[in-house]
Amino acid sequence: MIKFYFHTTPNPMKIALYLEETGLPYELIPIDTYKGEQHSAAFKKINPNEKLPAIIDSEGKRVFDSTAILLYLSEKTGKLAGNPEDRSELLSWMMFLATGLGPFSGQSVHFRLAAPEKIPYAINRYLREAQRHYQVLDEHLAQREYMVGDTYTIADISAWGWIDKAKFVLGEHELEAYPHLKTWFEKINHRTAVAKVRKMSQAQTFKKEMDEETARALFPSNFADKK
């Protein structure tokens, strides 16, 4: 049984989708990041970076970071790992998503919607880079059904986690400017496992207020000199 430490943010949602797609048994352990539960001493032993997602597998091994978890579980089980001849493509796109799409999308959301002051340079910088990553994906998917090879893999799951939040990342632009990416997303988004993940996530009770407790929990380095 896999212990799965979860919140409804994009990266944990990827792991939830993988687990639902593969049918691997798991125990859901909600972690309320708005309350700072990710900073507890107990959770820090599981992920010293104090972020979600994280798992403890059936053998008691911890794995943290969504990309590491997807690669680890797909290699261990052989599920949704893609074809061997596509391995170089799979790794390349997984790293593109982990180091490009995810971070720039997150920063675009932060500076547009969460930052206490609106900084035009930062808003423009991260929005434009997020758009550029979306364009890369749109061009890649112009002549193909899936991210890698001709089958559904962890690369599709990894991309889905952030593309699902396009309206927060891109604002009014959303996916209309990226027709191939939109077609791909709608195909993935209609999978039965996605519906199961949404139902599961909606059943969780997490804090939603963005007050000072939440700001300190999500952005602790901003308050390092204010203890």
For residue range 31-73, what is the model confidence (pLDDT) as tens digits? 999 999 999 999 999 999 999 999 999 999 999 999 999 999 9
pLDDT value for 131: 96
Total-model pTM: 0.96
| Mean pLDDT confidence for 133-137 | 98
pLDDT value for 225: 63
Q: Is residue 92's pLDDT more than 90?
A: yes
**Where are the domain boundaries for CATH 3.40.30.10 in the chain?**
2-80+195-210
The span from the CA of 174 to the CA of 50, in Å, is 30
| Mean pLDDT confidence for 107-135 | 96
Residue 103 preceded by cis peptide, ω within 30: no
- CATH class belonging to 2-80+195-210: alpha beta
Strands across the sheet with 2-6, in order? Answer: 26-30, 2-6, 54-56, 62-64
**Where are the domain boundaries for CATH 1.20.1050.10 in the chain?**
84-191
For residue 106, give both structure tokens: 């997150």
Any idea which architecture 84-191 has in CATH?
Up-down Bundle (1.20)
